[in-house]
Structure 1
Amino acid sequence: MSVKNDLRSGIIYNSVGKYSNVLITFIIQIILARLLSPSEFGIIAIINVFLVFFQLLVDFGIGPAIIQRDDLNKDEINHIYSFSVYFSVSLAVFFAFLGQPISTFYQNILLLKAVPLMSIALLFNGLTMVPQNLLLKQKKFKIVNMSQILGSFANGVISIVFAFLGYSYYALIFGNIARAIAQFAIYSASTRLTFNLRFSISPLVKIYKFAKNQLFFNIINYFSRNLDSILIGRYMPSNQLGYYDKAYQLSLYPNSIFTSVITSTIQPVFSSYETQLDKLKNGYFGIIKILANFGIPLSVFLFFSSSEFIIFLFGEQWVESISVFQILSASIWIQMLQSSTGGFFQSANRTDLLLLSGIMSTTLNIIGIILGVYLGSIYWVAIMILVTFSLNFIQTNYLLVHKAFGASVVDFYKILSKPIVIAILEIIIFLFLQNLNLGIFLNLLVKSVSFIIVLIVGLIITKQFKDFILLLKK
């Protein structure tokens, strides 16, 4: 199968899976935002900060290594799986005992029981790591995406039912557990991996070099992405973390909707072309062209429509999230373009450069977040995040395009020139529409239609429309 057919197949299944998954999750969040308070969401946001870190440790960098290495046989993968079972159980137990120190650090007694309960979700998430990546290696995108849809559905049903019954933030924990168990059941049935009480470490040694760099990058990137929630939760009221987290999560949805269907297929498809740098570069540039033409104008649209989005989706109790979302929306196009870089670093077997990029990104983000928290406002934190994301966009693409591909960075930035022209047209139109007073729904409808029309006109003016459609078909 050619790279084009592999990529197309992956994108088709990922599109069905991801869009269904995002839609289900989005509807769940809209319902729960009206059933639970910002403070209750803030408590779970604190737990999730630590949960995400432990899930990175559970992965141990093994997942991408399984995809990258073509010389792993069935027995070796079974030994790796056996190691992951022991490791997942150990980390889940350790996580459960962190309830007391986490509760003390955040001066919130509610975390004392909530953290150990969430360790159940951590355990089953860890157990799915090897089966899921094995399915991705085998390009069985259909099974992976269907399991994620069913997992999200289980999460939604359980969360909403328990929220209606008055279980407060526990409803969100029960939902996370239900999703993890559902996905574990499907992945296990699909791969039928064998657990060995005694396992060999030789397969782990074989993937160590790749996994090591990947793990270090994941840990560094974790602090880059989560330090804001850690510090806001510690030094500001939990409702402020709730407002910030809601805006931040909403700013991630364009990635989930428009890029994850592509990015999750990059390494499984392009890893076979590790030494063919021109093919990797052309693949990256083609994806960037699509994402930039949509992502940069989309950031403009969301910036000018932030108020309507927050109130329409979540209700009046979330108005303090509006300014944060407006600031973060200016970084959405950067997040969309950055989302594919990791897969190409991995495909080129340059996790050393991925690690270096992660170190630089984390350093800048830590400085920006600390400064934002010091200034005492979630709005300042959002501003600093926007600044550091912009700087990291420059250094990441220098390392990928120039160092990994051996290509010209100038050629990369030329791709962005026409999308910027379209964005300027969007700005002009939305400046005329900013004083609309038709009500939340009609305002949002008018702005959405205007965004689509100007986007199409912009593609025509910049003489990209036919090429853009052709590129999408390819």
Structure 2
Amino acid sequence: MSFKNARFYLRDNHPGYNMTPPTDRLPQAEINRRALDSEHVLENLGARTVNGSALALGAQLTRMVLQFLSTFILARLLAPADFGLLAMAGTVTAFVGAFTDLGLQTATVQRKDIDQNLVSGFLIVGVGVAAGMALLLFAFAPFSVLVFDDDRIPLLLMIVAASLPVGALGAQHSALLTRQMRWLTLHSIGLFSQLLGLIAAVALAAWTDIGYWALVVQIWVNAGVSSMLAWLMCPWRPSRITDWGSVRGALGFGLNLTGFAFANYFHRQLDNVLVGWKGGATELGYYSRAYSLLLLPLNLVNGPLSSALLPALSRVQNDPVRWREAYLTGLSAVTIVSAGISAVLFGGSKVIIPLIFGPGWDDARLIFSALAPCMLATTPMNTTAWIYMSLGRTDLLLRWALIASPTYAVAFVIGLPAGGFGVALGYTIAATLLMLPCFWMATRRTTISMRDVVAVLAPPTVVAILLGPALEQVCARVGFVPGLVAIFVAGVLYAAASVIMIVWLPQYGGLKAMSSKTLSRVQHKLVALRGGAR
């Protein structure tokens, strides 16, 4: 195969994948048509979803290892204030970032039919909006010092903002890869860009004295490499727009999703603003590192299943029975895994924080222990976005955000007098109160009942509530190494309880079937490998 063919059609090893023949002589229009086509994914959709989830889980585990490694090294090379400065700038860029994509990447994945004109329009609009938002941040940067009371923020904010259009360049190419369920290509792009960003940041932090600028370089390398590889691995190329009407007509889905992201910003970033305003860069450094450490396992759970299930749910949105079964299976997996992680993180925080961050991060441990229980609510709640997006009801997703975001904001303000710990505790309490209303609103007028939801959520949650405090008591009474052993034993106990739940409880039948298929496929591949070795 020529380099050009390898470049345009890197083959993913999915069962039933429609292998594309060499395309040296194909015109770009035909290459674009093939890149836009996703009919072949309906063949063996279940197998593709299982494979995608397994690949995504492996990729997310690798990402988590890289992130832990990054935190482990950079926390020893940089000061907490360096992370706090980047969190201040990130608070502003995240606000603007809510408008950058306009939900167009998700719209490309969710829509049943797409064409060259529509995707080209989405790309042009996405990059244009990202560039406009970067310019808006340039104009705001001089005034940011009034908010954060730190004269290093304006330049830092402008440099971070300039990366927005760079990341937007690869958004539609990544969406097309997702739509075609080309999981291996997608995760390879993400891991490679993250690895290069980590290498760049660690090298600069270790061998120069540029401090927080090493973290900025990490952002730029990640965005640039990701977009470049997306263009390299997806052969689709934009063309001149012949009908802007079709593009405008499809923007409603994305605009509602953007409205949700905008409203959601206030409980994702307002806590950073309040903690930074009250406690300064050092207090925010403790809070942001604790929150980032919590997000790692949360993303480990939601990220892989979201990337695999959202395209699958979108493809079967007109088949209520298959759609219900697929969603409840995903919810089961998310709930069982996240509840166990929450219990272990809460109970083992006395050991985990010194292990990851090293000495001098005791304040982060208190914040982390207050945040960890919120995973029992927030991780399952995040799956309701699958319902709204796969059914094209982003208008209801926006309505929920307008209810939830003020609730979180009030909880943050109430907890603020106690600093980062109080804000974290307020977050956990608010998430717990919002959990059942969130599911009720999402499942109305669908084939999923609240009885289905509670049956899935209750068993893992009860086990986690019993296990977490028990592990905390053990870790409080023993040293560091015995504490690690206690965390391992707690993990094994929860895993055993999970197996019992999946095997014996009928509400986890879909997850049991999916697990059996996955194990069977792994077994067959191992047998094939042994046969080939002989």
The alignment's TM-score, normalised by the length of structure 2, stands at 0.83
Q: Does 1:449 align with 2:492?
A: no
Q: Does 1:416 align with 2:457?
A: yes
Asked whether the 8 Å contact 2:117–2:243 carries over to 1, the reply is no
Asked whether the 8 Å contact 1:217–1:355 carries over to 2, the reply is yes
User: Which consecutive unaligned segments of at least 5 residues does structure 2 have?
Assistant: 1-42, 518-534
Q: Does 1:60 align with 2:102?
A: yes
Compute the displacement of 1:455 (Å).
3.6
Q: What amino acid maps onto 2:314 in structure 1?
A: S
Aligned residue in 2 for 1:24: 66
Asked whether the 8 Å contact 1:331–1:390 carries over to 2, the reply is yes
Q: Distance in 2 between matches of 1:56 and 1:158?
A: 27
Q: Does 1:350 align with 2:393?
A: yes
The alignment covers a number of residue pairs equal to 471
Q: What amino acid maps onto 1:263 in structure 2?
A: S
Q: Does 1:248 align with 2:291?
A: yes
Aligned residue in 2 for 1:76: 118
Q: Distance in 2 between matches of 1:258 and 1:242?
A: 25
Aligned residue in 2 for 1:325: 368
Aligned residue in 2 for 1:395: 437
| CA pair 224-199 structure 1, distance change in 2 beyond 3 A | farther
Q: What amino acid maps onto 2:482 in structure 1?
A: L
Q: What amino acid maps onto 1:437 in structure 2?
A: V
Q: Distance in 2 between matches of 1:360 and 1:193?
A: 40
Q: What amino acid maps onto 1:360 in structure 2?
A: I
| CA pair 60-246 structure 1, distance change in 2 beyond 3 A | same
Write the mapping of 1:35-54 to structure 2, written as runs, cut at 5 A: 35-54=77-96
Percent identity between matched residues is 19
| CA pair 130-43 structure 1, distance change in 2 beyond 3 A | same
Compute the displacement of 1:313 (Å).
0.6
| CA pair 441-469 structure 1, distance change in 2 beyond 3 A | farther
Residues 423-466 of structure 1, C-alpha deviations (whole Å, 9 max, x = no match)? 3552574266244323x243123322233134404643896389
Asked whether the 8 Å contact 1:103–1:109 carries over to 2, the reply is yes
Moved more, 61-70 or 405-414: 405-414
**Cα RMSD (Å) of the superposition?**
2.3
Q: Does 1:94 align with 2:136?
A: yes
| CA pair 310-81 structure 1, distance change in 2 beyond 3 A | same
Q: Distance in 2 between matches of 1:463 and 1:426?
A: 20
| CA pair 203-458 structure 1, distance change in 2 beyond 3 A | closer
Write the mapping of 1:197-346 to structure 2, written as runs, cut at 5 A: 200-346=243-389
Q: Distance in 2 between matches of 1:190 and 1:425?
A: 47
Q: Distance in 1 between matches of 2:497 and 2:425?
A: 31
Aligned residue in 1 for 2:176: 134
Asked whether the 8 Å contact 1:280–1:344 carries over to 2, the reply is no
SS at match of 1:316: coil
Q: Distance in 2 between matches of 1:135 and 1:15?
A: 17
Q: Does 1:108 align with 2:159?
A: no
Moved more, 287-296 or 62-71: 287-296
Q: Distance in 2 between matches of 1:33 and 1:324?
A: 17
SS at match of 1:377: helix
Q: Distance in 2 between matches of 1:384 and 1:341?
A: 22
Asked whether the 8 Å contact 2:309–2:330 carries over to 1, the reply is no
Compute the displacement of 1:86 (Å).
2.5
Compute the displacement of 1:363 (Å).
1.6
SS at match of 1:97: helix
Q: What amino acid maps onto 2:484 in structure 1?
A: L
Q: Distance in 1 between matches of 2:237 and 2:319?
A: 36
Compute the displacement of 1:23 (Å).
1.5
Residues 336-356 of structure 1, C-alpha deviations (whole Å, 9 max, x = no match)? 212322122111222122111
Q: What amino acid maps onto 1:418 in structure 2?
A: P
Q: What amino acid maps onto 2:496 in structure 1?
A: I
The alignment's TM-score, normalised by the length of structure 1, stands at 0.93
Compute the displacement of 1:298 (Å).
2.8
User: Which consecutive unaligned segments of at least 5 residues does structure 1 have?
Assistant: none
Q: Does 1:372 align with 2:425?
A: no
Aligned residue in 2 for 1:148: 190
Compute the displacement of 1:146 (Å).
0.9
